[in-house]
Amino acid sequence: MPKWIARKWDTADILDQSGRTALVTGANSGLGLRTAQVLADKGAHVLLACRSPERGQRALDSVLATGGKAELVRLDLADLSSVREAAARVRDRTGDALDVLVNNAGVMAVPLGRTADGFELQFGTNHLGHAALTWLLMPALRTRPGARVVTVSSLLHQIGRVDLADPNYEVRRYSAWGAYGQSKLANLLFARELARRTRTAGVDVTSVAAHPGATATELSANMARARRNPLLGLGTRISDLFSQSVEVGALPQLYAATSPDVEPGGYYGPDGFRETRGHPAPAKSTAASRDQLAASRLWDLTAELTGVAPNPS
């Protein structure tokens, strides 16, 4: 019986992670750093995948200071050459043995921008970069029994619509929130399609998704800075007062990464009011996020755009 039925699941329920290796993207702050800290505290060897070497080093120092086993991996999800280099380094360092991949990093509601490869910044970073990384790391995940891929989505996948004809806003009018919703819906579609394809191929890798509800992280502050709007920054700080802490917000993705009770293709979030706060439980999602045809088409489009061969094919 899943533990949330009997009691509130928290980090005390995480089994010993000794002997396991985990990679967490966006581990320099917020949910990613908290996830890395907890996994390391439970005995895992954690690879902190960060874009900024300076911020990544500070995060690494904080994990090592508590006795955790961790190392830093340079990763810029907005640059596919960096994604390829990071995947190659991870496979080399781990000897092709990776137990957990947490696709956590992201950008939110920023002005129209482009990745190094010309993709819309949010779709390119949040979805394309993570999808490419996952496929490139599948050889390392497939060697480990019960390996797991956790993809972090958002409540705002509910406002998303994946436009397969114009995912990078080259024709349609750009909407910062619409683009964010599209990227988070794409995350959920990808996680479920990966679960379907691993199951069909008989691959022992579990793909699940999670969302943090309303959690006070640096995403909102980064959004306000990117849009250079002081009033938006003030609104963000006020909103953060009503958000839950990172310690609680990270629980759904930690549950997804470690619990023996997760279901392949499952989606987990907070159990409180409208899934904005609380402890891990199965989350609701839109009909669009369960559209298998759309997921399959997005899978194929992602391979075409990134030039990375899907795994499993």
Best CA proximity match to 225, nearest among 237, 216, 213, 241:
237
The DSSP secondary structure of 83-115, one letter per residue, reads HHHHHHHHHHHHTS---EEEE-----SPPS-B-
Which residues, including other chains, have CB under 8 Å from residue 21's CB and lie 6 or more apart? Answer: 44, 45, 46, 47, 94, 97, 98, 99, 100
Best CA proximity match to 41, nearest among 68, 9, 65:
68
**What span, in angstroms and rounded, lies between the C-alpha atoms of 300 and 309?**
10
Q: What's the maximum distance between 2 C-alpha atoms anywhere in the chain?
A: 52
Whether residue 137 contacts residue 98, with contact meaning beta carbons closer than 8 Å, is answered with: yes
In this structure, what are the phi and psi dihedrals at residue 25, rounded to the nearest 5 degrees?
Answer: -85, 150
Q: Which of 180, 255, 267, 268 is catalytic?
A: 180
Tokens of 159: 């406002």
* 3 state DSSP class of 71: strand
Tokens of 77: 């999800």
Q: Which residue has the tokens 């993705």?
A: 253
Is residue 169 annotated as a catalytic residue, yes or no?
Answer: no
Q: Give the active site residues.
A: 180
